[in-house]
Structure 1
Amino acid sequence: MGQLDGKVAFITGAARGQGRSHALLFAEEGADIIGLDICEQVESVVPPMSTQDDLDETVALVEKTGRRMVGVKGDTRNRADIQRALEQGLAEFGRLDIVLANAGIFAAGLKPYAQSEQAWKDSLDINLTGTWNTLQLTAPILVDQGQGGSIVITSSSATGRWITTNYDGGVDGYNAAKYALGGLMTAYAGKLAEHNIRVNTFHPTGVSTPMVANDHFATWVDENPTYMASWMNALPVESMQPVDASQVFLFLVSDLGRYITGQELFVDAGQTTIPPLGGGTQLNHQH
Protein backbone atom coordinates (compact mmCIF):
# COMPACT_ATOMS: atom_id res chain seq x y z
CA MET A 1 0.00 0.00 0.00
CA GLY A 2 1.32 3.40 -0.97
CA GLN A 3 0.79 6.59 0.99
CA LEU A 4 -1.12 8.12 -1.95
CA ASP A 5 -3.14 5.17 -3.23
CA GLY A 6 -6.18 6.37 -5.16
CA LYS A 7 -5.06 9.99 -5.19
CA VAL A 8 -4.57 12.27 -8.20
CA ALA A 9 -1.93 15.01 -8.21
CA PHE A 10 -1.69 18.04 -10.51
CA ILE A 11 1.91 19.19 -10.92
CA THR A 12 3.08 22.27 -12.82
CA GLY A 13 6.61 22.30 -14.18
CA ALA A 14 6.41 18.52 -14.39
CA ALA A 15 8.74 17.86 -17.33
CA ARG A 16 12.03 17.79 -15.41
CA GLY A 17 13.78 18.80 -12.19
CA GLN A 18 11.73 18.90 -9.01
CA GLY A 19 8.47 18.48 -10.91
CA ARG A 20 9.57 15.22 -12.49
CA SER A 21 10.91 13.97 -9.18
CA HIS A 22 7.61 14.75 -7.44
CA ALA A 23 5.67 12.97 -10.18
CA LEU A 24 7.79 9.83 -9.92
CA LEU A 25 7.75 9.59 -6.13
CA PHE A 26 4.02 10.26 -5.95
CA ALA A 27 3.40 7.62 -8.62
CA GLU A 28 5.50 5.14 -6.66
CA GLU A 29 3.25 5.91 -3.69
CA GLY A 30 0.11 5.14 -5.70
CA ALA A 31 -0.97 8.46 -7.24
CA ASP A 32 -1.92 9.19 -10.82
CA ILE A 33 -0.48 12.42 -12.23
CA ILE A 34 -1.71 15.37 -14.25
CA GLY A 35 1.41 17.20 -15.43
CA LEU A 36 1.73 20.60 -17.08
CA ASP A 37 4.91 22.16 -18.47
CA ILE A 38 5.68 25.03 -20.83
CA CYS A 39 8.09 22.92 -22.94
CA GLU A 40 9.39 26.09 -24.61
CA GLN A 41 12.13 28.64 -24.09
CA VAL A 42 11.25 31.87 -22.30
CA GLU A 43 13.30 34.57 -24.02
CA SER A 44 14.71 36.12 -20.84
CA VAL A 45 15.95 32.75 -19.54
CA VAL A 46 19.39 31.94 -20.91
CA PRO A 47 19.87 28.23 -20.05
CA PRO A 48 17.83 25.67 -22.00
CA MET A 49 14.36 25.10 -20.57
CA SER A 50 12.20 22.00 -20.76
CA THR A 51 11.10 20.41 -24.02
CA GLN A 52 8.27 18.18 -25.16
CA ASP A 53 10.74 15.29 -25.09
CA ASP A 54 11.36 15.98 -21.39
CA LEU A 55 7.65 15.87 -20.64
CA ASP A 56 7.21 12.70 -22.69
CA GLU A 57 10.04 11.09 -20.74
CA THR A 58 8.40 12.00 -17.44
CA VAL A 59 5.16 10.40 -18.62
CA ALA A 60 7.03 7.24 -19.62
CA LEU A 61 8.84 7.07 -16.27
CA VAL A 62 5.59 7.44 -14.36
CA GLU A 63 3.98 4.72 -16.45
CA LYS A 64 6.87 2.38 -15.62
CA THR A 65 5.75 2.57 -11.97
CA GLY A 66 2.36 1.18 -12.98
CA ARG A 67 0.52 4.46 -12.55
CA ARG A 68 -0.91 6.78 -15.22
CA MET A 69 0.02 10.31 -16.21
CA VAL A 70 -1.62 12.89 -18.45
CA GLY A 71 1.14 15.21 -19.68
CA VAL A 72 0.04 18.50 -21.20
CA LYS A 73 2.15 21.22 -22.83
CA GLY A 74 1.03 24.56 -21.44
CA ASP A 75 2.00 27.85 -19.85
CA THR A 76 0.81 28.74 -16.33
CA ARG A 77 0.59 32.36 -17.45
CA ASN A 78 -2.30 31.27 -19.65
CA ARG A 79 -5.33 30.12 -17.70
CA ALA A 80 -6.74 28.33 -20.71
CA ASP A 81 -3.68 26.03 -20.72
CA ILE A 82 -4.16 25.15 -17.06
CA GLN A 83 -7.87 24.59 -17.58
CA ARG A 84 -7.19 22.32 -20.55
CA ALA A 85 -4.78 20.20 -18.51
CA LEU A 86 -7.23 19.91 -15.64
CA GLU A 87 -10.09 18.97 -17.95
CA GLN A 88 -8.00 16.26 -19.59
CA GLY A 89 -6.87 14.95 -16.23
CA LEU A 90 -10.34 14.95 -14.71
CA ALA A 91 -11.71 13.18 -17.79
CA GLU A 92 -9.05 10.48 -17.34
CA PHE A 93 -8.97 10.12 -13.55
CA GLY A 94 -12.26 11.58 -12.33
CA ARG A 95 -10.90 13.51 -9.37
CA LEU A 96 -8.20 15.79 -7.96
CA ASP A 97 -6.60 15.56 -4.52
CA ILE A 98 -3.18 17.23 -4.61
CA VAL A 99 -1.87 20.38 -6.28
CA LEU A 100 1.84 21.17 -6.54
CA ALA A 101 2.36 24.71 -7.85
CA ASN A 102 5.96 24.08 -8.82
CA ALA A 103 6.53 25.85 -12.15
CA GLY A 104 9.12 28.62 -11.98
CA ILE A 105 12.07 30.31 -13.65
CA PHE A 106 15.33 31.92 -12.54
CA ALA A 107 16.03 34.50 -15.24
CA ALA A 108 19.41 35.67 -13.95
CA GLY A 109 21.27 37.82 -16.47
CA LEU A 110 24.87 38.71 -17.13
CA LYS A 111 26.09 42.29 -17.30
CA PRO A 112 24.93 44.66 -18.69
CA TYR A 113 21.56 43.01 -18.02
CA ALA A 114 20.17 43.89 -21.41
CA GLN A 115 16.91 42.04 -20.73
CA SER A 116 16.34 43.18 -17.14
CA GLU A 117 12.92 44.70 -17.77
CA GLN A 118 11.62 41.64 -19.62
CA ALA A 119 13.23 39.28 -17.09
CA TRP A 120 11.45 41.12 -14.25
CA LYS A 121 8.11 40.77 -16.02
CA ASP A 122 8.63 37.13 -16.95
CA SER A 123 9.70 36.24 -13.40
CA LEU A 124 6.62 37.80 -11.83
CA ASP A 125 4.30 36.45 -14.51
CA ILE A 126 5.51 32.85 -14.18
CA ASN A 127 6.62 32.54 -10.55
CA LEU A 128 3.78 34.53 -9.02
CA THR A 129 0.88 35.03 -11.43
CA GLY A 130 1.26 31.49 -12.79
CA THR A 131 0.94 30.17 -9.24
CA TRP A 132 -2.10 32.36 -8.61
CA ASN A 133 -3.69 31.07 -11.81
CA THR A 134 -3.05 27.52 -10.63
CA LEU A 135 -4.70 28.16 -7.26
CA GLN A 136 -7.64 29.95 -8.84
CA LEU A 137 -8.46 27.02 -11.09
CA THR A 138 -7.74 24.10 -8.75
CA ALA A 139 -9.17 25.33 -5.44
CA PRO A 140 -12.80 25.29 -6.69
CA ILE A 141 -12.38 21.71 -7.88
CA LEU A 142 -11.17 20.59 -4.46
CA VAL A 143 -13.95 22.53 -2.70
CA ASP A 144 -16.65 21.10 -4.96
CA GLN A 145 -15.43 17.54 -4.41
CA GLY A 146 -15.91 18.00 -0.67
CA GLN A 147 -13.18 15.54 0.26
CA GLY A 148 -10.38 17.88 1.35
CA GLY A 149 -7.02 18.08 -0.33
CA SER A 150 -3.53 19.52 -0.17
CA ILE A 151 -1.78 22.31 -2.07
CA VAL A 152 1.97 22.94 -1.86
CA ILE A 153 3.65 25.96 -3.44
CA THR A 154 7.36 25.93 -4.28
CA SER A 155 9.02 29.00 -2.80
CA SER A 156 12.68 29.50 -1.84
CA SER A 157 15.05 29.90 1.09
CA ALA A 158 15.61 33.41 -0.30
CA THR A 159 12.58 34.47 1.75
CA GLY A 160 14.27 33.60 5.02
CA ARG A 161 17.78 35.05 4.69
CA TRP A 162 19.32 38.37 3.80
CA ILE A 163 19.37 39.11 0.12
CA THR A 164 20.75 41.90 -1.99
CA THR A 165 20.41 42.98 -5.60
CA ASN A 166 22.75 43.12 -8.54
CA TYR A 167 20.26 45.33 -10.44
CA ASP A 168 19.20 42.37 -12.54
CA GLY A 169 15.47 42.17 -13.20
CA GLY A 170 15.42 38.39 -13.29
CA VAL A 171 16.93 38.02 -9.83
CA ASP A 172 14.85 40.85 -8.41
CA GLY A 173 11.73 39.34 -9.94
CA TYR A 174 12.57 35.91 -8.56
CA ASN A 175 13.03 37.24 -5.03
CA ALA A 176 9.94 39.44 -5.14
CA ALA A 177 7.78 36.60 -6.41
CA LYS A 178 9.04 34.09 -3.87
CA TYR A 179 8.35 36.51 -1.01
CA ALA A 180 4.86 37.20 -2.38
CA LEU A 181 4.02 33.50 -2.52
CA GLY A 182 4.01 33.41 1.28
CA GLY A 183 1.21 35.94 1.42
CA LEU A 184 -0.70 34.14 -1.30
CA MET A 185 -0.37 30.86 0.57
CA THR A 186 -1.61 32.41 3.83
CA ALA A 187 -4.71 33.82 2.14
CA TYR A 188 -5.66 30.53 0.51
CA ALA A 189 -4.85 28.46 3.60
CA GLY A 190 -7.20 30.62 5.63
CA LYS A 191 -10.00 30.47 3.08
CA LEU A 192 -9.76 26.74 2.36
CA ALA A 193 -9.22 25.41 5.88
CA GLU A 194 -12.94 24.98 6.53
CA HIS A 195 -13.01 22.59 3.56
CA ASN A 196 -10.13 20.54 5.01
CA ILE A 197 -7.88 21.73 2.18
CA ARG A 198 -4.38 22.45 3.39
CA VAL A 199 -2.03 24.99 1.77
CA ASN A 200 1.68 25.36 2.52
CA THR A 201 4.86 26.70 0.95
CA PHE A 202 8.15 24.82 0.61
CA HIS A 203 11.38 26.79 1.01
CA PRO A 204 14.44 24.73 0.04
CA THR A 205 18.10 25.40 0.05
CA GLY A 206 19.66 24.81 -3.35
CA VAL A 207 18.21 21.93 -5.34
CA SER A 208 20.36 20.38 -8.04
CA THR A 209 18.14 20.72 -11.11
CA PRO A 210 18.68 21.85 -14.73
CA MET A 211 17.48 25.32 -13.70
CA VAL A 212 20.85 25.96 -12.07
CA ALA A 213 23.07 23.03 -13.07
CA ASN A 214 24.32 24.74 -16.20
CA ASP A 215 27.25 26.83 -17.47
CA HIS A 216 25.30 30.09 -17.48
CA PHE A 217 24.48 29.85 -13.78
CA ALA A 218 28.08 28.95 -12.95
CA THR A 219 29.25 32.12 -14.74
CA TRP A 220 26.60 34.17 -12.97
CA VAL A 221 27.79 32.86 -9.60
CA ASP A 222 31.36 33.95 -10.40
CA GLU A 223 30.15 37.43 -11.37
CA ASN A 224 28.06 37.93 -8.23
CA PRO A 225 30.17 37.05 -5.16
CA THR A 226 28.37 39.53 -2.88
CA TYR A 227 24.98 38.10 -3.75
CA MET A 228 26.24 34.55 -3.35
CA ALA A 229 27.65 35.30 0.11
CA SER A 230 24.16 34.80 1.55
CA TRP A 231 23.82 31.34 0.02
CA MET A 232 25.72 29.44 2.68
CA ASN A 233 24.52 26.19 4.24
CA ALA A 234 25.31 25.47 7.88
CA LEU A 235 25.25 21.73 7.23
CA PRO A 236 28.20 20.43 5.19
CA VAL A 237 26.21 20.00 1.97
CA GLU A 238 26.24 22.05 -1.21
CA SER A 239 22.66 21.33 -2.27
CA MET A 240 19.88 18.79 -1.97
CA GLN A 241 18.78 16.39 -4.67
CA PRO A 242 15.30 16.66 -6.20
CA VAL A 243 14.18 13.47 -4.44
CA ASP A 244 15.03 15.10 -1.10
CA ALA A 245 12.55 17.84 -1.93
CA SER A 246 10.00 15.28 -3.13
CA GLN A 247 10.12 13.45 0.20
CA VAL A 248 9.14 16.68 1.96
CA PHE A 249 6.28 17.22 -0.48
CA LEU A 250 5.12 13.65 0.12
CA PHE A 251 5.08 14.29 3.87
CA LEU A 252 3.06 17.48 3.46
CA VAL A 253 0.39 15.98 1.18
CA SER A 254 0.06 12.60 2.92
CA ASP A 255 -1.82 11.74 6.09
CA LEU A 256 1.39 12.36 8.03
CA GLY A 257 0.98 16.06 7.33
CA ARG A 258 -2.79 16.21 7.75
CA TYR A 259 -2.66 18.90 10.44
CA ILE A 260 -0.12 21.15 8.72
CA THR A 261 -1.52 24.18 6.93
CA GLY A 262 -0.64 27.83 6.51
CA GLN A 263 3.05 27.09 7.07
CA GLU A 264 6.26 28.19 5.38
CA LEU A 265 8.33 25.03 5.65
CA PHE A 266 12.07 25.68 5.38
CA VAL A 267 14.23 22.70 4.43
CA ASP A 268 17.42 24.66 3.99
CA ALA A 269 20.36 22.83 5.59
CA GLY A 270 20.42 25.54 8.26
CA GLN A 271 20.98 28.28 5.70
CA THR A 272 18.48 30.78 7.10
CA THR A 273 18.80 30.22 10.86
CA ILE A 274 22.25 28.92 11.80
CA PRO A 275 25.48 30.88 11.20
CA PRO A 276 27.93 28.62 9.34
CA LEU A 277 30.74 28.45 11.92
CA GLY A 278 33.19 26.80 9.59
CA GLY A 279 32.67 29.25 6.80
CA GLY A 280 29.72 27.30 5.44
CA THR A 281 29.15 25.50 2.21
CA GLN A 282 28.30 27.91 -0.60
CA LEU A 283 25.45 26.94 -2.81
CA ASN A 284 25.99 26.47 -6.49
CA HIS A 285 22.37 25.50 -7.05
CA GLN A 286 19.21 27.36 -6.14
CA HIS A 287 15.61 26.76 -7.18
Structure 2
Amino acid sequence: MNRVAGKVVAITGAARGLGRSHAVRLAEEGADIIALDVCQDASTAEYAGSRPSDLDETARLVEKTGRRAVVRQVDVRDRSSLSTALDEAVAELGRLDVVIPNAGISPMGPDRPLSAFTETLDVNFIGAANTVHAALPHLAEGGSVILIGSVAGLMPRYDGNTGVGHGAAGYSLSKHLLTEYADWLAIQLAPSNRRVNVIHPTNVPTELIKNEAAYRTFRPDLENPTADDVEPVFKSVHGMPIAYVETADVSHAVVFLASDESRYITGAQLRIDGGMVAKLQAGYDPRG
Protein backbone atom coordinates (compact mmCIF):
# COMPACT_ATOMS: atom_id res chain seq x y z
CA MET A 1 0.00 0.00 0.00
CA ASN A 2 0.95 3.68 -0.42
CA ARG A 3 3.34 3.04 -3.32
CA VAL A 4 2.33 6.38 -4.86
CA ALA A 5 1.30 8.19 -1.68
CA GLY A 6 1.07 11.94 -2.11
CA LYS A 7 1.31 11.87 -5.89
CA VAL A 8 -1.20 13.43 -8.27
CA VAL A 9 -1.97 11.51 -11.46
CA ALA A 10 -3.78 12.76 -14.57
CA ILE A 11 -5.51 10.10 -16.70
CA THR A 12 -7.39 10.54 -19.96
CA GLY A 13 -10.12 8.13 -21.01
CA ALA A 14 -10.79 7.76 -17.29
CA ALA A 15 -14.55 7.24 -17.39
CA ARG A 16 -14.43 3.48 -17.84
CA GLY A 17 -12.32 0.52 -18.95
CA LEU A 18 -8.56 0.76 -18.51
CA GLY A 19 -8.70 4.43 -17.50
CA ARG A 20 -11.04 3.76 -14.59
CA SER A 21 -9.00 0.72 -13.58
CA HIS A 22 -5.80 2.80 -13.48
CA ALA A 23 -7.50 5.57 -11.51
CA VAL A 24 -8.89 3.27 -8.83
CA ARG A 25 -5.74 1.19 -8.49
CA LEU A 26 -3.55 4.29 -8.14
CA ALA A 27 -5.95 5.78 -5.60
CA GLU A 28 -5.73 2.55 -3.60
CA GLU A 29 -1.97 3.14 -3.51
CA GLY A 30 -2.32 6.72 -2.25
CA ALA A 31 -2.61 8.97 -5.32
CA ASP A 32 -5.08 11.76 -5.99
CA ILE A 33 -6.59 11.59 -9.46
CA ILE A 34 -7.35 14.02 -12.28
CA ALA A 35 -9.87 12.08 -14.36
CA LEU A 36 -10.42 13.35 -17.91
CA ASP A 37 -12.77 12.00 -20.57
CA VAL A 38 -14.73 13.31 -23.56
CA CYS A 39 -17.84 11.31 -22.54
CA GLN A 40 -19.12 11.15 -26.11
CA ASP A 41 -19.40 8.66 -28.95
CA ALA A 42 -16.62 8.47 -31.52
CA SER A 43 -18.22 9.38 -34.84
CA THR A 44 -16.76 6.42 -36.74
CA ALA A 45 -17.04 3.67 -34.11
CA GLU A 46 -20.01 1.32 -33.90
CA TYR A 47 -19.84 0.98 -30.11
CA ALA A 48 -21.09 3.59 -27.64
CA GLY A 49 -18.71 5.97 -25.95
CA SER A 50 -18.65 6.76 -22.26
CA ARG A 51 -21.11 9.10 -20.58
CA PRO A 52 -20.75 11.79 -17.88
CA SER A 53 -22.28 9.34 -15.39
CA ASP A 54 -19.38 6.97 -16.09
CA LEU A 55 -16.87 9.68 -15.23
CA ASP A 56 -18.81 10.48 -12.07
CA GLU A 57 -18.64 6.81 -11.12
CA THR A 58 -14.87 6.81 -11.55
CA ALA A 59 -14.68 9.79 -9.20
CA ARG A 60 -16.93 8.02 -6.70
CA LEU A 61 -14.71 4.93 -6.73
CA VAL A 62 -11.57 7.02 -6.26
CA GLU A 63 -13.11 8.95 -3.38
CA LYS A 64 -14.25 5.68 -1.81
CA THR A 65 -10.54 4.90 -1.26
CA GLY A 66 -10.16 8.14 0.66
CA ARG A 67 -8.33 9.99 -2.11
CA ARG A 68 -9.37 13.14 -3.98
CA ALA A 69 -10.71 13.18 -7.54
CA VAL A 70 -11.04 16.12 -9.91
CA VAL A 71 -13.00 15.39 -13.08
CA ARG A 72 -13.17 17.31 -16.33
CA GLN A 73 -15.06 16.53 -19.52
CA VAL A 74 -12.62 17.37 -22.32
CA ASP A 75 -11.64 16.19 -25.81
CA VAL A 76 -7.95 15.26 -26.04
CA ARG A 77 -7.89 16.54 -29.63
CA ASP A 78 -8.45 20.09 -28.30
CA ARG A 79 -5.13 21.06 -26.74
CA SER A 80 -6.34 24.47 -25.59
CA SER A 81 -9.26 23.00 -23.64
CA LEU A 82 -7.03 20.20 -22.35
CA SER A 83 -4.47 22.72 -21.09
CA THR A 84 -7.20 24.70 -19.35
CA ALA A 85 -8.60 21.56 -17.70
CA LEU A 86 -5.15 20.52 -16.45
CA ASP A 87 -4.31 24.05 -15.28
CA GLU A 88 -7.49 24.13 -13.19
CA ALA A 89 -7.08 20.60 -11.81
CA VAL A 90 -3.42 21.09 -10.88
CA ALA A 91 -4.28 24.38 -9.18
CA GLU A 92 -6.87 22.51 -7.12
CA LEU A 93 -4.70 19.53 -6.19
CA GLY A 94 -1.40 21.38 -5.93
CA ARG A 95 0.91 19.39 -8.19
CA LEU A 96 1.24 16.84 -11.00
CA ASP A 97 3.52 13.81 -10.78
CA VAL A 98 2.23 11.36 -13.36
CA VAL A 99 0.39 11.68 -16.67
CA ILE A 100 -1.27 8.73 -18.40
CA PRO A 101 -2.59 9.41 -21.92
CA ASN A 102 -4.98 6.47 -21.99
CA ALA A 103 -7.83 7.76 -24.20
CA GLY A 104 -8.30 5.74 -27.35
CA ILE A 105 -10.80 4.47 -29.91
CA SER A 106 -10.87 1.46 -32.21
CA PRO A 107 -13.48 1.65 -34.98
CA MET A 108 -13.02 -1.77 -36.54
CA GLY A 109 -14.47 -3.26 -39.68
CA PRO A 110 -14.00 -3.20 -43.45
CA ASP A 111 -17.12 -1.05 -43.78
CA ARG A 112 -15.70 1.85 -41.76
CA PRO A 113 -15.19 5.10 -43.75
CA LEU A 114 -11.82 6.66 -44.45
CA SER A 115 -12.56 9.16 -41.69
CA ALA A 116 -12.15 6.25 -39.24
CA PHE A 117 -8.43 6.33 -40.05
CA THR A 118 -8.07 10.04 -39.36
CA GLU A 119 -10.30 10.08 -36.28
CA THR A 120 -8.41 7.18 -34.72
CA LEU A 121 -5.05 8.78 -35.40
CA ASP A 122 -6.27 12.11 -34.01
CA VAL A 123 -7.54 10.58 -30.76
CA ASN A 124 -4.95 7.87 -30.16
CA PHE A 125 -1.74 9.62 -31.16
CA ILE A 126 -2.38 13.37 -31.50
CA GLY A 127 -4.55 13.20 -28.36
CA ALA A 128 -1.78 11.43 -26.45
CA ALA A 129 0.80 14.01 -27.54
CA ASN A 130 -1.58 16.86 -26.67
CA THR A 131 -2.03 15.37 -23.19
CA VAL A 132 1.70 15.08 -22.57
CA HIS A 133 2.47 18.54 -23.93
CA ALA A 134 -0.30 20.16 -21.90
CA ALA A 135 0.97 18.36 -18.80
CA LEU A 136 4.69 19.06 -19.16
CA PRO A 137 4.63 22.60 -17.68
CA HIS A 138 3.18 21.08 -14.51
CA LEU A 139 5.02 17.73 -14.38
CA ALA A 140 7.27 17.62 -11.33
CA GLU A 141 10.93 16.63 -11.34
CA GLY A 142 10.98 12.86 -11.03
CA GLY A 143 7.62 12.72 -12.81
CA SER A 144 6.45 9.86 -14.98
CA VAL A 145 4.75 9.79 -18.38
CA ILE A 146 3.05 6.44 -18.99
CA LEU A 147 1.84 5.98 -22.54
CA ILE A 148 -0.73 3.26 -23.19
CA GLY A 149 0.33 1.57 -26.40
CA SER A 150 -0.68 -1.82 -27.75
CA VAL A 151 0.87 -4.95 -29.15
CA ALA A 152 -0.52 -3.57 -32.44
CA GLY A 153 2.35 -1.09 -32.24
CA LEU A 154 4.88 -3.92 -32.14
CA MET A 155 3.39 -6.07 -34.90
CA PRO A 156 3.99 -5.92 -38.66
CA ARG A 157 2.05 -3.15 -40.37
CA TYR A 158 -1.48 -3.93 -41.41
CA ASP A 159 -4.03 -1.78 -43.21
CA GLY A 160 -7.53 -1.72 -44.60
CA ASN A 161 -6.56 -3.97 -47.50
CA THR A 162 -6.22 -6.92 -45.13
CA GLY A 163 -9.92 -6.74 -44.27
CA VAL A 164 -9.67 -5.01 -40.90
CA GLY A 165 -10.64 -1.60 -42.26
CA HIS A 166 -9.47 2.00 -42.14
CA GLY A 167 -10.03 2.36 -38.39
CA ALA A 168 -7.88 -0.63 -37.55
CA ALA A 169 -5.16 0.73 -39.83
CA GLY A 170 -5.31 4.04 -37.97
CA TYR A 171 -5.14 2.19 -34.66
CA SER A 172 -2.04 0.28 -35.74
CA LEU A 173 -0.29 3.43 -36.99
CA SER A 174 -1.16 5.38 -33.83
CA LYS A 175 0.42 2.73 -31.62
CA HIS A 176 3.51 2.44 -33.81
CA LEU A 177 3.94 6.21 -33.57
CA LEU A 178 3.63 6.10 -29.77
CA THR A 179 6.57 3.69 -29.52
CA GLU A 180 8.77 6.02 -31.57
CA TYR A 181 7.51 9.14 -29.80
CA ALA A 182 8.39 7.65 -26.41
CA ASP A 183 11.93 6.81 -27.50
CA TRP A 184 12.54 10.43 -28.52
CA LEU A 185 10.68 12.07 -25.65
CA ALA A 186 12.49 9.96 -23.05
CA ILE A 187 15.78 11.47 -24.21
CA GLN A 188 14.39 15.01 -24.02
CA LEU A 189 13.05 14.61 -20.49
CA ALA A 190 15.84 12.55 -18.92
CA PRO A 191 18.01 15.57 -17.94
CA SER A 192 15.09 16.89 -15.85
CA ASN A 193 14.78 13.50 -14.15
CA ARG A 194 11.39 12.86 -15.77
CA ARG A 195 10.61 9.50 -17.31
CA VAL A 196 8.67 8.20 -20.32
CA ASN A 197 7.62 4.59 -20.75
CA VAL A 198 5.08 2.68 -22.82
CA ILE A 199 2.88 -0.22 -21.78
CA HIS A 200 1.79 -2.50 -24.62
CA PRO A 201 -1.20 -4.67 -23.64
CA THR A 202 -2.65 -7.42 -25.75
CA ASN A 203 -6.45 -7.82 -25.93
CA VAL A 204 -8.22 -6.34 -22.91
CA PRO A 205 -11.97 -7.02 -22.48
CA THR A 206 -13.16 -3.42 -22.71
CA GLU A 207 -15.69 -1.80 -25.03
CA LEU A 208 -13.03 -1.31 -27.70
CA ILE A 209 -12.89 -5.01 -28.42
CA LYS A 210 -16.06 -6.36 -26.79
CA ASN A 211 -18.48 -5.17 -29.45
CA GLU A 212 -20.29 -6.59 -32.45
CA ALA A 213 -18.17 -4.76 -35.04
CA ALA A 214 -15.01 -6.28 -33.60
CA TYR A 215 -16.58 -9.73 -33.53
CA ARG A 216 -17.51 -9.44 -37.21
CA THR A 217 -13.99 -8.28 -38.06
CA PHE A 218 -12.33 -11.26 -36.40
CA ARG A 219 -14.93 -13.80 -37.55
CA PRO A 220 -16.04 -12.67 -41.03
CA ASP A 221 -16.98 -16.28 -41.79
CA LEU A 222 -19.96 -16.07 -39.41
CA GLU A 223 -23.15 -14.08 -39.94
CA ASN A 224 -23.65 -12.94 -36.32
CA PRO A 225 -20.52 -13.84 -34.35
CA THR A 226 -20.45 -13.52 -30.57
CA ALA A 227 -17.76 -13.06 -27.95
CA ASP A 228 -17.56 -16.83 -27.61
CA ASP A 229 -16.94 -17.17 -31.36
CA VAL A 230 -13.92 -14.84 -31.36
CA GLU A 231 -12.31 -16.25 -28.24
CA PRO A 232 -10.53 -19.12 -30.08
CA VAL A 233 -9.10 -16.55 -32.52
CA PHE A 234 -7.80 -14.41 -29.67
CA LYS A 235 -6.32 -17.45 -27.94
CA SER A 236 -4.52 -18.53 -31.09
CA VAL A 237 -2.33 -15.42 -31.21
CA HIS A 238 -0.91 -15.79 -27.70
CA GLY A 239 1.88 -17.99 -26.45
CA MET A 240 0.01 -18.50 -23.17
CA PRO A 241 -3.45 -20.16 -23.16
CA ILE A 242 -5.41 -16.89 -22.83
CA ALA A 243 -7.72 -14.78 -24.96
CA TYR A 244 -7.35 -11.58 -22.92
CA VAL A 245 -5.51 -9.95 -20.06
CA GLU A 246 -7.65 -8.14 -17.48
CA THR A 247 -7.66 -4.39 -16.85
CA ALA A 248 -6.02 -5.02 -13.47
CA ASP A 249 -3.06 -6.72 -15.17
CA VAL A 250 -2.31 -3.47 -17.00
CA SER A 251 -3.01 -1.28 -13.97
CA HIS A 252 -0.48 -3.20 -11.85
CA ALA A 253 2.21 -2.18 -14.36
CA VAL A 254 0.91 1.40 -14.34
CA VAL A 255 1.35 1.57 -10.55
CA PHE A 256 4.93 0.34 -10.86
CA LEU A 257 5.83 2.90 -13.52
CA ALA A 258 4.10 5.66 -11.52
CA SER A 259 5.98 4.79 -8.35
CA ASP A 260 9.54 5.55 -7.28
CA GLU A 261 10.27 1.83 -7.65
CA SER A 262 10.83 2.55 -11.35
CA ARG A 263 12.73 5.82 -10.85
CA TYR A 264 15.57 4.85 -13.23
CA ILE A 265 13.43 3.20 -15.89
CA THR A 266 12.81 5.38 -18.93
CA GLY A 267 12.38 4.65 -22.63
CA ALA A 268 11.06 1.17 -21.82
CA GLN A 269 8.50 -0.67 -23.96
CA LEU A 270 6.76 -3.02 -21.53
CA ARG A 271 4.73 -5.83 -23.09
CA ILE A 272 1.78 -7.34 -21.23
CA ASP A 273 0.90 -9.71 -24.01
CA GLY A 274 0.75 -13.32 -22.88
CA GLY A 275 3.67 -14.13 -25.16
CA MET A 276 2.10 -12.74 -28.35
CA VAL A 277 5.18 -10.84 -29.56
CA ALA A 278 7.47 -13.76 -28.70
CA LYS A 279 5.21 -16.01 -30.76
CA LEU A 280 5.34 -13.49 -33.61
CA GLN A 281 9.11 -13.42 -33.48
CA ALA A 282 9.13 -17.19 -33.70
CA GLY A 283 7.36 -16.97 -37.05
CA TYR A 284 3.62 -16.84 -36.34
CA ASP A 285 1.74 -14.47 -38.68
CA PRO A 286 -1.46 -13.10 -37.04
CA ARG A 287 -2.70 -11.94 -40.43
CA GLY A 288 -3.08 -15.53 -41.63
TM-score using structure 2 length: 0.89
- Aligned residue number for residue 285 of structure 1: none
Q: How many residues align?
A: 272
User: Which of residues 245, 249, 255 is equivalent to 1:244?
Assistant: 249
CA distance in structure 2 between the aligned counterparts of 1:74 and 1:272, rounded to whole angstroms: 34
1:212 matched to 2:209? The reply is yes
Cross-structure match for 1:185: 182
The verdict on how the C-alpha distance between 1:180 and 1:27 changes in structure 2, with shifts beyond 3 A counting, is same
* Structure 2 letter corresponding to 1:256: E
Q: Which runs of 4+ in 1 moved over 4 A?
A: 228-231
Q: Which amino acid aligns with 1:72?
A: R
Residue type matched to 1:15 in 2?
Answer: A
Pairing of 1:1-287 with structure 2 (within 5 A): 2-111=2-111, 113=112, 115=113, 117-142=114-139, 145=140, 147-167=141-161, 168-223=165-220, 232-274=237-279
Post-superposition CA distance 1:77-131 (Å, at most 9, x none): 00122112212211211100000011111011343x3x1x110110111111111
The DSSP-based 3-state class of the residue aligned with 1:70 is strand
Instruction: Compute the displacement of 1:160 (Å).
Output: 2.2
Q: Deviations over 1:7-43 (max 9, x none)?
A: 0000010000000000000000000000110100111
Distance 1:200 1:241 in 2: 20
Change (3 A) 1:230 1:179: farther
Measure how far apart 1:264 and its partner are: 1.1
Q: CA deviation at 1:253?
A: 1.4
Alignment check: 8 A CA contact 1:157 1:204 kept = yes
> How has the CA–CA distance of structure 1 residues 41 and 270 changed in structure 2, closer, same or farther, with 3 Å as cutoff?
same
Amino acid paired to 1:17: G
- Asked if structure 2 preserves the Cα contact closer than 8 Å seen for 1:232 and 1:276, the reply is no
CA distance in 1, matches of 2:280, 2:184: 32
Q: Aligned-pair distance for 1:161?
A: 2.7
| CA distances 1:211-250 after superposition (whole Å, capped 9, x unpaired) | 211222212221289xx68970100111011011000111
Structure 1 residues 170 and 254: alpha-carbon distance in aligned structure 2, compared to 1, 3 A threshold: same
CA contact (8 A) 1:233 1:276 kept: no
How many Å separate the matches in 1 of 2:277 and 2:107? Answer: 23
Relative to structure 2, which stretch is displaced further, 254-263 or 4-13?
254-263
Query: Which runs of 5 or more structure 1 residues have no equivalent in the other structure?
Result: 283-287
TM-score scaled by length of structure 1: 0.89
**Native 8 Å contact 1:163 1:230 kept in 2:** no
The Cα of 1:169 is off from its aligned counterpart by 1.3
SS of structure 1 residue aligned to 2:137: helix
User: In structure 2, what is the Cα distance between the partners aligned to 1:239 and 1:182?
Assistant: 22
Contact 2:59 2:69 in 1 (8 A): yes
- Runs of 5+ consecutive residues of structure 2 not aligned to the other structure: 223-232
Matches of 2:85 and 2:56 in 1, distance apart? 15
Q: Distance in 2 between matches of 1:6 and 1:63?
A: 15
Separation of aligned partners in 1, 2:221 and 2:128: 28
Tell me the distance in 2 between the aligned counterparts of 1:97 and 1:21: 18
Whether the 8 Å contact between 1:234 and 1:275 is mirrored in structure 2 is no
